[in-house]
Structure 1
Amino acid sequence: MAKPKRLLSFLLSCFSWYLISLPSPPYPGEEFTQCLREKLPSELVYEQSSSSFTDVLGSSIKNPRFFTNATVRPLCIVTPTDARHVQAAVLCGRRHGVRLRVRSGGHDYEGLSYRSSRPDEVFGVLDLASLRSVSVNHPESTAWVESGATLGELYYAVAKNNSRVAFPAGECPTVGVGGQFSGGGIGMMMRKYGLSIDNVLDAKVVTANGDLLDRDGMGEDLFWAIRGGGGESFGVVLSWKIQLVQVPPTVTVFSIGKTLDQGAIDIVTRWQVVGPSLPDDLAIRVKVQGQEALFLAVYLGTCRSLVATMGRRFPELGMTSADCRSMTWLESAALSFTTLANIGTPEEVLLNRTGSMSFSFKVKSDYVRRPISKAAWKDIFSWFNMSGSASGYIMLEPHGGFMDSVPADATPYPHRNGVLYIIQYLVFWEGDGGTAPATAWLDDFYGFMGQHVSMNPREAYVNFRDLDIGQNVVVDDVDTFDGGEVWGERYFMSNYRRLTAVKAAVDPTDYFRNEQSIPPLL
């Protein structure tokens, strides 16, 4: 029996050595990262083992809630400097089964441009921060702007070329152009000139096949879809050709606060009707926090004209010439309208790409199509006395004007004619301790507001992304139409189906995907 035992031992040792000598199976994504190393300059690819990976990942994150040890992080970050780098990254990803998420400014409210909510997902990030040039055509009053530019950089470049033109987009200067345009782009000039996407003339996009296409090449269906259909669904939009709009040499702003004792409830109730019907040169938004309503205005005209208009149309606010602050449009873009204490803020602040990482936050949104009653506003103000509300507020932004003249299906953004205003709900907290009471207050308050806002569907704004309203359902590695419909009809209403048809035509295998990306209609 000794010889058979020795023989068996010998065979087992040989087999063990054979197993040890076999090459180790590749870790998920290894072929992808190897492909990137072969196709791209090494300084453009940051793998998790890189000493700079964490710094690059955090470079444009605006919500520290998604920058913790529990955050599902990308396999690597690619920082392209031209279109060929983006094409190579997409082709490597397709070839080796690794999806890419695309980040321009990092403001995605759920962090989906740089993280996943699915713990087992392997993905890479395309960070477009190095693609941020702005090229202005003065005679045509147009510009090409790359997706990695911020709104502040866009505003600054345009105004420094010609101070009498500007572009209608959002108020936060660190928001990336790519994300803003992909979702629509509301802002203080939308009542005069529409959304950002209403002023986009052309674009350059890299598709899931790695093709680089302009408007003529992509066709009108895809061009329609990328202007408001949400980011990370149809391809990587590298740049946008935009129509600039006229602004006067001087604009006027004001900031007027009203407490409950000063009639805040009556004035807000009245604003709901007046705000959307004012001359389209004037936009007044309202911030409600604590027991105060703050009325924040931008008027494309002089103080004298504004005082006259307010006296006729909105005397309840009691605005006078003493409330006026006159400045250039660019100076108004650099000013924080939550207070006039920042008058004189240098325009160069618009070039600062970094935002505060002091507070985590959660956001929700609603659209209002019929005025909320005075009695209901009394109840709304009472919510700001409850536990968890200390760092919460709502921002009301008026529609009307130009917005009423655009059909709901002209772009994917459907919240047009009949919308009085949009509500943005925000709550902030510092560290981990405030998470539960702050978000619980927001959830309860949002639930209460359901009876006062749009219904069937309860509309929401895709750029105020909220995963609570639904996430995609994946079947056979493809998002399903029915799974996306839960949230898709709230963001896009009847435009959702057309968006899924475009997706099926340009990306049927669902390569560009996140938790709320458009699924293909298969």
Structure 2
Amino acid sequence: MKSLHRSLPLLFVVVCSLSWVNVSANSHDDFLDCLSSYHPDESSSISKVTYTETNSSYSAVLESSIRNHRFSTPNTPKPLVIVTPLNISHVQATIRCSKKHGLQIRTRSGGHDYEGLSYVSHVPFVVIDLVHFKSVEVDVENEEVWVQSGAIVGEVYYRINERSTNLTFPGAHGYTVGIGGFISGGGDGLLSRKYGLAADNVIDAQFVDASGRVLDRRSMGEDLFWAIRGGGGGSFGIVLSWKIKLVHVPSIVTVFSVGRTLEQNATQLLHRWQYVAPNLPNDVYSLVAISAWKASENETRTVLVTFTSVFQGGANELIPLMQERFPELGLVKEDFIEMTWIESVLFINGLSNETSEALLERNRSLLPPSFKSKSDYVNEPVPEIALQGLWPQLLEVDEAISAVQTFIAYGGMMDEISETETPFPHRKGTLYKIHYNIGWQEEENIRSQRYISWMRKLYSYMGPFVSKSPRAAYVNYRDLDIGRNNDDGKASYKQASVWGRKYFKNNFDRLVSVKTKVDPENFFKHEQSIPPHFH
């Protein structure tokens, strides 16, 4: 009898697993039949962009936009079907058939969701991959651009620059980021201190809701238009394209990037940077990258702090500005390099020796193959003694592992836009944002928990020195450690508030209200999606 009792739990697991497989198989077949029948005249074209595990191209399509190989293991749940739509009717059919047959939808533009939520789910699901939705239509005369969500930031920079070297858009630092996810999370970047977020410059959108209706700004209403510009992807529907107001850049910009080690007073310089960078003119983008460093095999490891800036203007303006505001950095004339705006985008991405065509390469990786990231916002300068406490933690990381902290200055226009203007609330009073990243090679995934534990320890250490009540985070640096919904995406208001207020502060309540109106059945959901109020 004892052995029978011991067997029951295992039997229960096996039965549940088999029933899940059967449900998945039935849903999968029914879903495919539904797609084919929904638009009989479209059945041929939609079948050509529908991939199941029996299709030889399935793995290649799935892996084409996986940017974090922590979520590309044999045990990672895979979609039953991937659809790479060619037109709006394909998107509508996929939504309607997923809804009819109880399948969850994950939408992928660039694949940069830090927790893999655009292509991983723990319940039977379908991926809509917007890789074919990547047109960029530039209107120089009206200084506007329509961009489809599947385009990457680099493609938008490149296409605008083709038409005008003095126009651009407030895009991301990293050029391989997909437009859909980037703007859905607000989208800060190289021009945020001068022109605000990408979302602040969106003036219209094309959106498909849970009923398959296609809406623009006028037909969706201002509440939903507000929510999709910073409320995070995957909660309200699918934004297929964005109309963005273009902004002006000069013919010449100036950059510098200089490194200082601990032995060269990096701690004191970083401490001073916190007072200088957020108060520089709006034309200056300023960031600091911090990592362990070893000059040569025979030297002791130290910490390298690299100070980088992009200035919208000539060196003759930036040199005296930096000499006045930050003389301690010890910049000399040779540190300042003049170039065009598009060349500065290449520079900031480590592509200085390449032509602008490099910005069209979707699959080049800017982060390590596998990684864990976190974020913070800083409202008061971190004391020098607290910065000193960071260095031993960075130096304890294996040399083969990449551990980088990036401080990105706010201020400027970010101080002038209300925190309720869009769902992105990190505005006035924010000195800078911190991006923490630890990365490793894919074959090291078996040790991933060790690296993730290190990241959590570092994050815990920084707690006393960053924003509080809530400890704020950036939704585009997705982090399930700060709170999550259930695996099926469902959550109570209270449960979702735990993470929701960290990303959105009090804007979370308005997001819940919008969700309740536009998707009351909670069709679009994931581990950090906005819930309707009554769930």
TM-score by length of 2: 0.89
2:428 pairs, out of 414, 417, 421, with 417
Aligned residue for 1:107?
112
Q: How far does the alpha carbon of each residue in 1:298-345 deviate from its partner, in whole angstroms, 9 at most, with x for none?
A: 00000111001101111111122201121111111122456xxx5332
Q: CA deviation at 1:434?
A: 4.0
| Partner SS, residue 390 of structure 2 | helix
CA distance in 2, matches of 1:471, 1:56: 28
CA contact (8 A) 1:80 1:126 kept: yes
The answer as to 2:466 corresponding to 1:453 is: yes
CA contact (8 A) 2:397 2:403 kept: no
Aligned residue for 1:360?
370
The answer as to 2:211 corresponding to 1:209 is: yes
Over the residues paired in the alignment, what is the CA RMSD in angstroms? 1.6
Aligned residue for 2:316?
304
The answer as to 2:515 corresponding to 1:503 is: yes
TM-score by length of 1: 0.92
Compare CA radii of gyration and give the structure with the larger one. 1
CA contact (8 A) 1:134 1:157 kept: yes
Aligned residue for 1:65?
70
Q: CA deviation at 1:285?
A: 0.1
| Partner SS, residue 239 of structure 1 | strand
2:495 pairs, out of 457, 472, 483, with 483
CA contact (8 A) 1:367 1:454 kept: yes
Q: How does 1:135-154 map to 2 (within 5 A)?
A: 135-154=137-156
CA distance in 1, matches of 2:392, 2:309: 25
| Partner SS, residue 330 of structure 1 | helix
CA contact (8 A) 1:62 1:355 kept: no
| Partner SS, residue 69 of structure 1 | coil
Which letter maps to 1:331?
A: E
Aligned residue for 1:344?
353
CA contact (8 A) 1:304 1:321 kept: no
CA contact (8 A) 2:205 2:239 kept: yes
1:194 pairs, out of 177, 187, 196, with 196
CA distance in 1, matches of 2:449, 2:79: 27
Aligned residue for 1:471?
484
| Partner SS, residue 28 of structure 1 | helix
Aligned residue for 2:527?
515
CA contact (8 A) 1:98 1:123 kept: yes
The answer as to 2:34 corresponding to 1:35 is: yes
Q: Select between 269-278 and 329-338 the one with higher mean Cα deviation.
A: 329-338
Q: CA deviation at 1:272?
A: 0.5
The answer as to 2:271 corresponding to 1:269 is: yes
Q: How does 1:72-87 map to 2 (within 5 A)?
A: 72-87=77-92
Q: How far does the alpha carbon of each residue in 1:224-252 deviate from its partner, in whole angstroms, 9 at most, with x for none?
A: 00000000000000000000000000111
Q: How far does the alpha carbon of each residue in 1:205-225 deviate from its partner, in whole angstroms, 9 at most, with x for none?
A: 000011000000000000000
Q: How far does the alpha carbon of each residue in 1:238-279 deviate from its partner, in whole angstroms, 9 at most, with x for none?
A: 000000000000111111101111111111101111110000
Q: How far does the alpha carbon of each residue in 1:73-125 deviate from its partner, in whole angstroms, 9 at most, with x for none?
A: 11100111111111111111122221211000000001100112x2xx00100
Q: CA deviation at 1:172?
A: 1.1
Gaps of 5+ in 1: 1-23
Which letter maps to 1:343?
A: S
Aligned residue for 1:426?
437
CA contact (8 A) 2:411 2:430 kept: yes
Q: Select between 141-150 and 382-391 the one with higher mean Cα deviation.
A: 382-391
Aligned residue for 2:299?
none
Q: 1:47 to 1:346 in 2, by over 3 A?
A: same
CA distance in 1, matches of 2:376, 2:343: 30
Q: 1:470 to 1:219 in 2, by over 3 A?
A: same
Q: Select between 146-155 and 36-45 the one with higher mean Cα deviation.
A: 36-45
Q: CA deviation at 1:479?
A: 2.9
Q: 1:128 to 1:434 in 2, by over 3 A?
A: same
1:369 pairs, out of 374, 379, 383, with 379
| Partner SS, residue 423 of structure 1 | strand
